[in-house]
A and B are shown apart, each in its own frame.
Chain A
Amino acid sequence: MGHFMKQATALSHGPQLALQSYLDDLLFDATEGLQQVEPQPDELSAVALDGQVQAEEPAVAMPLELADVGVATEAFAHPLVQVHRPRAAAAPLPAQTDGRPAWADEPFECLLFDVAGLTLAVPLVCLGSIYSLQGRELTPLFGQPEWFLGILPSHSGNLNVLDTARWVMPDRYRDDFREGLQYVISVQGYDWGLAVHQVSRSLRLDPEQIKWRTRRGQRPWLAGTVIEHMCALLDVAQLAELISSGAVKHMASAAAGATDK
């Protein structure tokens, strides 16, 4: 499975265009109903395509010095960074009525990462550790959905790795998105991790900066969008719970049934 190890830079601008379009869709959802003056969609696209999104300097909660960490060569993957900030329960906290998860009662720290050119944010409270895929291979399992990339043995047990890009943008997915995946970010309290191309930085978000999704619908893992940073906020605990509970199998069956009709 050497193709996982190719450099992320191999991705062309083509996927980025598609991803920008996807992000635009998310932002369209997010900005529906907003009364304030906002940039036109074309302006949003242009800014993001140039990769020049510059928000005000965020408060960096926990710098990730990935470059300074050696790559493990042992049988088990060791975490490069322990991301998780302990809290009482590992299970997803109940969402509030406006769609805002309980961890977003107050300003919270997020990790930004890139998947096939798309920037995503995840709350640190839901994350476990970051593992490097450099020099490592995932073990695929037959009979699993396409979004299941394989198993990564880690020091804390086997980690089931999902293809994040296929989850967040199945309609725009391309096979070359599987190339250049460099890290796996584990979800706190679950044996699941997200394969990503690049880990970016952490920042502190104010809940008021986020357009929360009040109806999670088919994408319960999408908590909201952060227009200021042009990124989607993932509720990875909901995502892991969706997978671990087996609910995702029913969703797949329902989708297949709908296609058949």
Chain B
Amino acid sequence: MSKAAAQQSSEDPILQWVTFKLDNETYGINVMQVQEVLRYTEIAPVPGAPSYVLGIINLRGNVVTVIDTRQRFGLQGTEITDNSRIVIIEADKQVVGILVDSVAEVVYLRQSEIETAPNVGNDESAKFIQGVCNKNGELLILVELDKMMTEEEWSDLENI
């Protein structure tokens, strides 16, 4: 790598994002926070759990809480299909699963390609939109997983 290229790389790093679909829109999450992607498996409901928790799954002997991503994003619920996936992520020092309609691909984005999203919503959910990016003719909505829940909610998850 030439010196100029190295300098450009450090100033404008390339980031990898795992993209998934919800309600025909494409979202991206930082690949560094994704541990694995699972086919849909039975989710055991947890009595008394918050509404944004679908339940728990057994992942090779470990209990993983699965979050209702649609509810979190203010979307209506939908049927589970063959494309439904549970993405195991690490956020706020916890390992949790997020249920999505489908997982698409891994895309490479330069930092400079990411544009800020409009900041006009008072809704809590608006805070976890990290930015948007045009890629391959469609608009990706980049999600900041750590902000997907408040500190209190992350804390509650630990106790489920």
Q: Please give the residue numbers on chain A whose beta carbons come within 8 Å of chain B beta carbons, in ascending order.
A: 75-76, 139-145, 148, 151, 153, 157-158, 160, 191, 243, 246, 248-249, 252-253, 256
Contact = CB atoms under 8 A, between A and B. Distances in A.
A151 B139 contact: yes
25 contacts: A75-B137, A139-B132, A139-B141, A140-B25, A141-B118, A141-B126, A141-B132, A142-B73, A142-B123, A143-B124, A143-B126, A144-B118, A144-B123, A144-B126, A145-B121, A148-B120, A151-B117, A151-B132, A158-B132, A160-B118, A243-B118, A249-B120, A249-B121, A252-B122, A256-B122
A119 to B, nearest CB: 26
Interface string B52-95: 00000000000000000000011100000000000000000000
Interface of A: prevailing SS: mixed
Interface in B93-136: 115, 117-129, 132, 134
Contacts of B139: 139, 151, 153, 158
A248 to B, nearest CB: 6
Contacts of A160: 118, 120
B27 to A, nearest CB: 9
B120 A142 contact: no
A143 B25 contact: no
Interface of B: prevailing SS: mixed
A105 B100 CA distance: 55
B21 to A, nearest CB: 13
Given A141-B121, A144-B120, 8 more contacts: A75-B137, A141-B117, A143-B121, A143-B124, A144-B118, A145-B122, A157-B115, A252-B122
Contacts of A139: 25, 132, 138-139, 141
A153 B120 contact: no
Contacts of A248: 120
A214 B141 CA distance: 41
B134 A142 contact: no
Given A153-B134, A153-B139, A142 B75 contact: yes
